[in-house]
């Protein structure tokens, strides 16, 4: 009977896959929320110059009622509902994936979506899911963004590339049963005389 050599780095159970994704998403969510808390408490009010970091990079506080990168002003509730859909799709997709990099990237994208979704739910705004997202990374040549935006965009692009060019290998199934020995063939086998 043959044996299947499996990659020990790949999560093999649904439970382990779930914990990996949840842990990654939680880490991104915590980093995103801590960075936003810092921005709200340490940076000057929206519209001010902000803090220079290096080159064209600034930390400049902005409150976004639209979608990622301070675009789509006023469409926050719609964007929040889309975030719910994205999280649901990623959970469904993760059920059939065993690739460690792909699972981590799913967690990164989910964590980013949850980070901005938390702002929609808990921060001040207008109506249901109308909270304003905190953006603070400003370059002058790119719309203002945050950690969650980066996780969604970079993680999503990397995940799409992996799925397209390095698809997940199917999980090996059990070894097939050995072929049964035909009755005529078994009678032709040599016997051992114990006398």
Residues with Cβ < 8 Å from 50, sequence gap 6 or more?
Answer: 43, 44, 58, 59, 60, 61, 136, 138
The encoded tokens of residue 84 equal 């719910």
Give the global pTM: 0.74
Q: How confident is the model at residue 32 (pLDDT cuts 50, 70, 90)?
A: very high
Instruction: Give how far Cα 183 sits from Cα of 176, 177, 186, 189, Å.
Output: 21, 17, 5, 10
Residues with Cβ < 8 Å from 113, sequence gap 6 or more?
Answer: 83, 86, 87, 90, 148, 152
Domain residue ranges in the chain: 14-167
Distance CA 134, CA 116 (A): 8
Per the annotation, the verdict on 135 as an active-site residue is yes
Instruction: Give how far Cα 13 sits from Cα of 20, 105, 124, Å.
Output: 11, 18, 41
Q: How confident is the model at residue 9 (pLDDT cuts 50, 70, 90)?
A: very low
Task: Find the catalytic residue in 32, 149, 168, 193.
Answer: 149
Q: Is the pLDDT of residue 3 over 80?
A: no
The encoded tokens of residue 145 equal 């963004």
Per the annotation, the verdict on 149 as an active-site residue is yes
* 51-88 confidence digits (pLDDT tens): 899 999 999 999 887 655 555 555 556 777 888 898 99
Task: Find the catalytic residue in 7, 32, 119, 135.
Answer: 135
């Amino acid at each position: 009977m043959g044996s299947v050599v499996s990659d020990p780095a790949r999560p093999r159970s649904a439970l382990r896959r779930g914990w990996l994704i949840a842990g990654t998403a939680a880490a991104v969510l915590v980093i995103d929320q801590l960075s936003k808390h810092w921005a709200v408490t340490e940076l000057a009010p929206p519209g001010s110059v902000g803090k220079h970091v290096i080159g064209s990079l600034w930390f400049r506080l902005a409150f976004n009622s639209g979608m990622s990168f301070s675009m789509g002003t006023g469409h926050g509730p719609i964007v929040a509902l889309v975030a719910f859909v994205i999280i649901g799709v990623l959970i469904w997709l993760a059920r059939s994936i065993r690739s460690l990099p792909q699972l981590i990237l799913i967690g990164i994208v989910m964590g980013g979506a949850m980070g901005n979704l938390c702002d929609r739910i808990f921060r001040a705004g207008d109506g249901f899911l109308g909270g304003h997202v905190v953006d603070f990374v400003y370059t002058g040549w790119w719309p203002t963004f945050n950690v969650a935006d980066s996780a969604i965009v970079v993680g999503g692009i990397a995940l799409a590339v992996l799925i397209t060019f390095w698809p997940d290998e199917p999980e090996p199934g059990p070894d097939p049963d050995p072929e049964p020995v035909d009755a005529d063939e078994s009678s032709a086998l040599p016997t051992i005389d114990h006398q």
